[in-house]
Structure 1
Amino acid sequence: MSKNAYIHKVLPGSPGSALLFVFHGTGADENQLLSFGRELAPSATIVSPRGDVSEQGAARFFRRTGEGVYDMDDLARATAKMAGFVKAHVEAAKPSAVFGLGYSNGANILASA
């Protein structure tokens, strides 16, 4: 999987520092948690992908079939894609540590990946 599998933003950190992935909630985008990530880990490189699924115009990381009901096939697709995205960034950065933070749907994909 590619480092560009998702539209995303990267806030560079100190060389060799930790890598922090932040995952937004439904309806937000890659900007939602960037500043919070920087406050939590001032020297880390922060990577924030945008969900690639649109639910009535709201960005998500995977589809639902109803309120609170996950589309399990799409969750499997999204999990594999996100795991590849994370792996590609980790291999390129060679960080001292890797952390993740997610809100709502972002926490779901983080736990799944």
Structure 2
Amino acid sequence: MYQPAPGAERTLLLLHGTGGDERDLLPLAARFGPGFNVLSVRGNVQEGGMPRF
């Protein structure tokens, strides 16, 4: 998931924990303010049916 921010020069890379997904940390990214692009990805390894890295 990519959320561009107009004029942003920095990008936050969000990596969730086991059982999470690419949406879990979006509230955390919002706390950094509007000056960041946000790149949040889903883990591509399954452990017990749950995504992880």
Q: TM-score range by the shorter chain?
A: 0.7 to 0.9
Matched, 1:11 2:3: yes
Backbone CA RMSD of aligned residues: 1.2
Match of 2:19 among 27, 31, 49: 27
After superposition, residues 50-61 of structure 1 pair within 5 angstroms as: 50-61=42-53
Structure with the bigger RCO (C-alpha within 8 Å, sep 6+) is 2
8 Å contact from structure 1 (residues 38, 46) kept in 2: no
| Runs of 4+ with >4 A deviation | none
Asked whether the equivalents of residues 22 and 48 of structure 1 are also in contact (C-alpha less than 8 Å), the reply is yes
Say which one has the larger Rg: 1
Measure, in 2, the Cα distance between the counterparts of 1:12 and 1:35. 15
TM-score (norm 2): 0.85
Instruction: From the two aligned structures, give the one with the greater strand fraction.
Output: 2
Q: What is the CA distance between 1:37 and its match in structure 2? A: 0.7
> How many residues are paired up?
53
Q: Which runs of 5 or more residues in structure 2 are unaligned?
A: none
Q: What are the ranges of 5 or more consecutive residues in structure 1 without an aligned counterpart? A: 1-8, 62-113
TM-score, normalised to structure 1, is: 0.43
Q: How does 1:93-112 map to 2 (within 5 A)?
A: none
Higher helix share: 1
